Amino acid sequence: MADELTPAVSDCAADAAGPEESEEPPKQRKNGLYPGVSDELAENMKSGWADTELRGLEPIAQAAETAARRAALSARFPGERLVIPAGNLKTRSNDTDYPFRASVEYAYLTGNQTEDGVLVLEPAADGHRATIYLLPRSDRENGEFWLSGQGELWVGRRHSLTEAAELYGIPASDVRELADALREATGPVRLVRGYDAAIEAALTDKVTAERDEELRVFLSEERLVKDEFEIGELQKAVDSTVRGFEDVVRVLDKAEATSERYIEGTFFLRARVEGNDVGYGSICASGPHACTLHWVRNDGPVRSGDLLLLDAGVETHTYYTADVTRTLPVSGRFSEIQKKIYDAVHEAQEAGIAAVQPGAKYRNFHDAAQRVLTERLVEWGLVEGPVERVLELGLQRRWTLHGTGHMLGMDVHDCAAARVESYVDGTLEPGMVLTVEPGLYFQADDLTVPEEYRGIGVRIEDDILVTEDGNRNLSAGLPRQSDEVESWMAALKG
């Protein structure tokens, strides 16, 4: 990346106070420009640029859905000002930032993903009037365009406020005026916290933690049932993920020659080419690493004869992510003990998926899968029965470790702020999308199981849509049954 101008520019024209300045006062502070920029160059840079304003833009594909989501939010909090920030860039180190991802709440309600953006719903006679506050195009007159770190010459062209209003179907204003406006505003206000420190500071005397939490909870619960646009995006995410898993199988020999990183990189390529990113750090866990639930270091060897647990998901450009796990024999063929454990997990997953039904309790699919796993553990003599006793005491959890699934959407663990009664203790409804992902994990140092089990971890995870009359497996494009996994791998490895 270019950095020749960065040290001077990063402080920006308006608040320039670099160490050199104390010794030699800048000549051109009146323009907000930097020392070293001649009047002639400054003048030259102001003009000679084409008009690039885009006219007659079509609204984004989900404009109708985002409007409906804002209408539901408006109806829940009548007469109150609602402030939903996108968030700001976060420093990675020195002058480099992490890739920006807008807050889920902001992106869900606007379809926009710009850093520093803020959605405000102002109380109006008939509900609320929405405005998105954004940074406008860079000014070329004052040099911001090329001298500011936020200038478009450095970070790329932004949409003008007029363009943004057309795209998102929401009037747009300059975000640099918002903090002052909020400071002066009167009347009840609620804020989604945790994303934008400047906006929070402006509202600090006007908001309470309890009332803000109610807003956050509502926005999490609003996302429990997905609309048609969201279901389409989740299917796209899954379809790209299926292709990413196929990519990985094709390069397993290269992973064997290098490390788990080859698998991570291969999947990431698919995610970046077809989507926005991976929805979470890919878990590329070979051999005993499969028993570490969130193994994302991915720096271990990949050995023929071991299992590879790959838990990965592509995130679409609109932020919807898949969350899929397959446990694959690196060689292409399961050993006898691997197949025995794998088939038990598969059987448990089938029972779990069957329990995903509209009107069913959310907990049912977890209970169904846990029961099957427990039956096998008792049958194999790893824990003393009867099954009811083991389930009651939770003894199976030494090897099943985690819950059997979660809601899926713009967050991989979606709707996390929803109340217990509307999520974990709630009832499944058509339009909900959740993962079903039982597993069995025998740690390499678990002396309570025979040696042949140790170091084997198996999880199978699919993304399931609750429909009017049952469910649909969005990730059915990847085989799960052990024989089918083997023939699928054989075909891909060629």
Where along the sequence are the contacts to Mn ion (CB under 5 A)? 323, 435
For 103, the token pair is: 């807050």
Closest approach of Cβ 396 to Mn ion, in Å?
A: 19
Minimum Å distance from CB 437 to Mn ion? 5
CB of 461 to Mn ion, least distance (A): 5
- Which CA distances in Å does 351 have to 57, 274, 394, 408, 434? 49, 33, 19, 20, 15
- Determine the Cα–Cα distance for residues 72 and 80; give it in Å rounded to an integer: 14
**Can you tell me which residue has the tokens 């023929």?**
304
How far is 455 from 378, CA to CA, in rounded Å?
A: 19
Longest dimension (CA), the chain: 88
Q: Shortest approach of Mn ion to residue 464 CB, angstroms?
A: 11
Closest CB to Mn ion among residues 74, 475: 475
Which is nearer to Mn ion, 45 or 464 (by Cβ)? Answer: 464
Burial track 219-255 (b if 16+ CB lie within 10 A, e otherwise): bbbbbbebbebbbbbbbbbbbbbbebbbebbebbeeb
Nearer Cβ to Mn ion (351/464): 464
Task: Count how many Cα atoms sit within 13 Å of the Cα of residue 204 in the half-sphere of its side chain.
Answer: 6
CB-nearer residue toward Mn ion: 200 or 323:
323
Taking residue 342's Cβ as centre, other Cβ atoms within 10 Å add up to: 24
Residue 16 or 407 with smaller CB distance to Mn ion: 407
Q: Which sign does the torsion angle of CA 183, 173, 85, 68 carry?
A: positive
Q: Which is nearer to Mn ion, 176 or 294 (CB)?
A: 294
Q: Which residue has the tokens 């959740």?
A: 434
* Nearest CA-CA partner of 359 in 441, 265, 426, 459: 426
Q: How many helices (H) and strands (E) does the chain have?
A: 19, 17
* Residue number with CB closer to Mn ion (147 or 464): 464
